[in-house]
Amino acid sequence: MNMKKSVVLVIGSGGIKCAAAIGLWRVLQEEDIAVNSLVGCSGGSMYAALIANHTDAKVMEELSRNVWTSDVMHGYTENLKASKDGSLRFNERSGLVDDSVINKKLQDVYGEWNFSDLKIPLMVVATDLLTGEKVTLSEGSLFHALRASLAIPIIFPPWEVDGRLLIDGAASDPLPIDVAIQNGADVIIAMGFPLDYRARFRSMTAVQEQLNSIYMNNILTSTYAFYNLAHHAEIFPIIPEFDTTISMFDIEKIPEVIERGERAARKQLPYIKKMLQSPPARFG
Amino acid sequence: MDKMKPRIALVIGCGGLKCAAAIGVLQVLEAEALFPDMVVGCSGGAIFGAAIAMGFSSDRMIEALAQIWTRDTMQKLDFPSLAKIALPKQIGFDDQIGILDDRGLTNGIAKAFGAKTTFADTVIPFHCLATDFHSGEQVILSEGNLTRAVRASAGIPILFKPVECDGRLLIDGGLSDPLPVDVAIREGADAIIAVGFETPLSHSFSSPMNFASQMFNILVNQLFYRKFAFFNLAYHSEIVIITPQFESDIPLNDVNSIPFVIEQGRKETLKHLAHLRQVIASKQD
């Protein structure tokens, strides 16, 4: 009798830190733990897509070095100035960055892919700019879904999918465990990234980032608290720990980030294995 | 032996001027002879929570609000902050930023509650909630100077400067806990009436600032929904959550809307009254 448990991997938002998912993926492969589906949010959605494609870990590392470079911020400084002196008019489709660079980078890797081409089913989370609702994308062009999920407001222009203007999935859910639950997960391996707090403030942007971090970290904590209590599924949180601050374009630190991801995954491994070996709960 | 009287807590979440709906909530409760045994407030809710805890009548609360929410409070700019924002490198930037001159707010709160009033002076025990700006943690204020605590809790970031309390720099409680039901639970409430507010979202994006405020509004709503879901799951039998409805946001300076806001609070409370009576009756057994 086949009573295998459904394992869902959730990779939350966290920018370049999401490369830690490569370390987690290596551990799962070595231990022969099969993943039945994947959920990704913001930066985490790129890695979830690569895992869903069974991309080799070495290739994933290479792709990471190509994506997290400062040229994705093309036009930011000029546009910021122009928005202040009024020469740049803003509307609901605006952002301070000229997104042709990030679009091209995403197209180069994911441009040809559809969700249906992936080896493992994938769900990508974004946020509806107008209603604030979480939007789960799981069909059609992968590029559109990833671009939407990555659209950090103010920086990148929102992205339209099926008539809705979408922004960064992190705004509605930095770690979308509920999407995994709705898809019938028995075991959820959830990799999340709390944001760093600042000690010093040198500009208004720093203050806004701090407020953003406070909100998101409190959302992250209450998400864990809720699902621990609700206990719809076994949830294994994987929170990589970093000794130093990893900033947005620290590509030199990618090997360290991956290693931290691996370490955090190994810590939970005995519990995950034990859970997978025990017979599934029978209901009814 | 007498039946045990259940301890009733009134929790008022963050919501700016919408928190005036708490006046309407209280009117309905008083008409039913339901008097809170403790009050918990967060942000705008801390102002009304403190007023209720001080035993103010509805009229006096509206008067207090007029003292706090003056034209100056909402319009007078803080030029040192604006200079720091414009020229951070030349002037030097720090964590003491608020684009509005906060003296109007601080003095208004002091005038309404008394500059020297402490938590010990309230008629009903009161707790108010703020957020540590550096660690993001929830901070519960239950003793010491009342004006300072309310001012800290209501310190909407960017608009008003953070407030230092016991060596911590405090901002708006809504950033860590928009509806602090957990404080009432910790304080031993048997029945909790929680008045919470969703923030209506904007459809206008004419500047980067609009995107920033939309993002913060989405985040505070998401945090609110999660806390709401958590407390419903954990303690559903004791909590009655009242969420007065507003189709569009009530701007902070829109004092003319106050009667409407109070009415929305009354209406929403009446809808939950039967449930509330049931909860309280079940706690008397």
Nearest to A149 by CA among A162, A131, A161: A161
Report the candidate in A195, A225, A175, A209 with the shortest Cα–Cα distance to residue A8: A175
Residue B204 confidence (pLDDT): 87
Q: Residue B272 pLDDT > 80, yes or no?
A: yes
The pLDDT value given to residue B285 = 67
pLDDT at A233: 83
The dihedral through the CA atoms of A156, A161, A167, A169 has a sign that is: negative
B229 and A CB contact within 8 Å: yes
CB A205 within 8 A of CB B140: no
Structural tokens at position B239: 């909590």
Cα separation, B56 vs B60, in Å, equals 6
pLDDT in tens, A203-226: 888 999 999 999 999 999 998 888
DSSP conformation class of B177: -
Torsion angle of C-alpha atoms B134, B75, B116, B21, degrees rounded to 10 = -90
Mean pLDDT value across chain B: 92
Q: What is the pLDDT confidence band of residue B243, given thresholds at 50, 70 and 90?
A: very high
- How large is the average pLDDT for residues B63-83? 89
Please tell me the distance in Å from B35's CA to the nearest CA on chain A.
Answer: 31
CA B222 to chain centre: 17
Question: pLDDT category, A173, cuts 50, 70, 90?
Answer: very high
Asked if B159 has any chain A CB less than 8 Å from its own CB, the reply is no
Among candidate residues B161, B174, B160, B259, the one with its CA nearest the CA of residue B224: B174
Residue type, A229: L
Tokens 């989405």 belong to B218
The pLDDT > 90 percentage for chain B reads 74
Of the residues A207, A221, A229, the best mutation for testing chain B's interface (the one with the most B CB atoms within 10 Å of its CB) is: A207
pLDDT tens per residue, range A219-272: 999 988 888 888 888 999 999 999 888 988 999 999 999 999 999 999 999 999
How does residue A280 score in pLDDT terms, banded at 50, 70 and 90? low
Q: Do B227 and A222 touch (CB under 8 A)?
A: yes
Using an 8 Å CB-CB cutoff, list chain A residues near B216: 211-212, 215
By three-state DSSP, how is residue B134 classified? coil
Q: Which residues contact A243 (CB under 8 A, 6 or more apart)?
A: none
Q: What is the pLDDT of residue A3?
A: 64
A residues 149-188 closer than 8 Å to B (CB): 153-154, 167, 171-173
Q: Which residue has the higher pLDDT, B252 or B80?
A: B80
d(CA A29, CA B225) in angstroms, rounded, equals: 36
Residue B167 buriedness (CB in 10 A; 0-12 / 13-18 / 19+): exposed
- Pick among B226, B227, B249 to test the A interface (most A CBs inside 10 A): B226
Chain B residues within 8 A of A208 when measuring between CB atoms: 158, 212
Cα separation, A48 vs A123, in Å, equals 9
CB contact (8 A) between residue A153 and residue B211 = yes
Closest CA to A180 of A34, A20, A38: A38
Specify the pLDDT at position A51.
98
Model pLDDT for residues A73-123, shown as the tens digit of each residue: 999 999 999 988 888 889 999 999 999 999 999 999 999 999 999 999 999
pLDDT at B228: 83
Mutate to test the interface with A, among B43, B214, B215, B225 (most CBs of A within 10 A): B215
Q: How many beta-carbon pairs below 8 A join chains A and B?
A: 115
Cα(A168)–Cα(A177) distance, integer angstroms: 16
Query: pLDDT band at B69, cuts 50/70/90?
Result: confident
Please tell me the distance from the alpha carbon of residue A45 to that of residue A75, in angstroms, as a whole number. 25
Among chain B residues, the shortest Cα distance to A196 is held by B135
Q: What is the pTM of this model?
A: 0.90
Cβ neighbours of residue A278 under 8 Å, at least 6 residues apart? none
Asked if A219 is an interface residue toward chain B (Cβ–Cβ < 8 A), one would say yes
Question: What's the mean pLDDT in A138-163?
Answer: 97
Task: Please check the confidence at residue B192 and state whether its pLDDT lies above 60.
Answer: yes
Contacts of A225 in chain B (CB under 8 A): 230
**C-beta atoms of B218 and A206 within 8 A:** no
pLDDT at A1: 41
- Interface membership of B81 toward A (CB under 8 Å): no
Q: Do A212 and B219 touch (CB under 8 A)?
A: yes
Using an 8 Å Cβ cutoff, are A11 and A38 in contact?
yes
Owner of token pair 């601050």: A245
Determine the Cα–Cα distance for residues A20 and A24; give it in Å rounded to an integer: 7
Per-residue tokens: B192: 């909790």
Q: Which residues of A touch B227 (CB under 8 A)?
A: 222
**Residue B115's beta-bridge partner residues?**
none
pLDDT band at B255 (very low <50, low <70, confident <90, very high): confident
State mean pLDDT over B77-96.
90
The encoded tokens of residue A197 equal: 């707090």
Tell me the percentage of chain A whose pLDDT exceeds 70. 97
Is the pLDDT at B75 greater than 80, yes or no?
Answer: yes
- Rounded to an integer, what distance in angstroms lies between the CA atom of residue B142 and that of residue B49? 12
How far apart (Å, rounded) are the C-alpha atoms in residues A20 and A28? 13
- Within 19-78 of B, beta carbons closer than 8 Å to A belong to none
CA dist A173 → A26, B21, B217 (Å): 26, 29, 13
Interface contact A208-B88, CB threshold 8 A: no
CA separation for the pair A104, B59 (Å, rounded): 62
What average pLDDT score do residues B79-90 get? 90
**Which of helix, strand or coil describes residue B31?**
helix
Residue B29 pLDDT class (50, 70, 90 cuts): very high
Weakest-pLDDT range from A145-159, B213-227, B248-262: B248-262
Q: Which residues from chain A sit within 8 angstroms of residue B220, using beta carbons?
A: 215
Q: Copy the structure tokens of residue B54.
A: 């001080």
Contact yes or no for B175 and A153 at CB 8 A: no
Smallest Cα–Cα separation from B205: which of A171, A154, A207?
Answer: A154
Q: Is some CB atom of chain B closer than 8 A to the CB atom of A221?
A: no
Give the 3-state DSSP-derived string for chain A, with helices as H, strands as E and coil as C. CCCCCCEEEEECCCHHHHHHHHHHHHHHHHCCCCCCEEEEECHHHHHHHHHHCCCCHHHHHHHHHHHCCHHHHCCHHHHHHHHHHCCCCCCCCCCCCCCHHHHHHHHHHHCCCEHHHCCCCEEEEEEECCCCCEEEECCCEHHHHHHHHCCCCCCCCCEEECCEEEEEHHHCCCCCHHHHHHCCCCEEEEECCCCCCCCCCCCHHHHHHHHHHHHHHHHHHHHHHHHHHHCCCEEEEECCCCCCCCCCCCHHHHHHHHHHHHHHHHHHHHHHHHHHHCCCCCCC
**CB B187 within 8 Å of CB B127:** yes
Q: Cα(A124)–Cα(A37) distance, rounded to whole angstroms?
A: 11
Q: What is the nearest CA distance from A108 to chain B, expressed in angstroms?
A: 29
Q: Do B67 and B91 meet the contact criterion of CB atoms below 8 Å apart?
A: no
User: Hey, are the CB atoms on A201 and B95 less than 8 Å from each other?
Assistant: yes
Do A215 and B227 count as a contact with CB atoms less than 8 A apart? no
**Side chain identity at residue B218, one-letter code:** I
Q: Determine contact: B236 vs chain A, CB below 8 A.
A: no
pLDDT tens track for A11-67: 999 999 999 999 999 999 999 999 999 999 999 999 999 999 999 999 999 999 999
Tell me what the mean pLDDT of segment B198-212 comes to.
89
Please give the pLDDT value at position A74. Answer: 93
Rounded to a whole number of angstroms, the distance from the CA of A88 to the nearest CA of chain B is 9
Of the candidates B175, B201, B222, the beta carbon closest to that of A130 is on B201
Q: Please calculate the CA angle A209-A215-A221 and round it to the nearest 5 degrees.
A: 130
Residue B153's pLDDT band, with cuts at 50, 70 and 90, is: very high
| Interface touch A202/B93, C-beta < 8 Å | yes
Tell me, what's the pLDDT at B1?
Answer: 44
Query: What's the confidence (pLDDT) of residue B237?
Result: 64
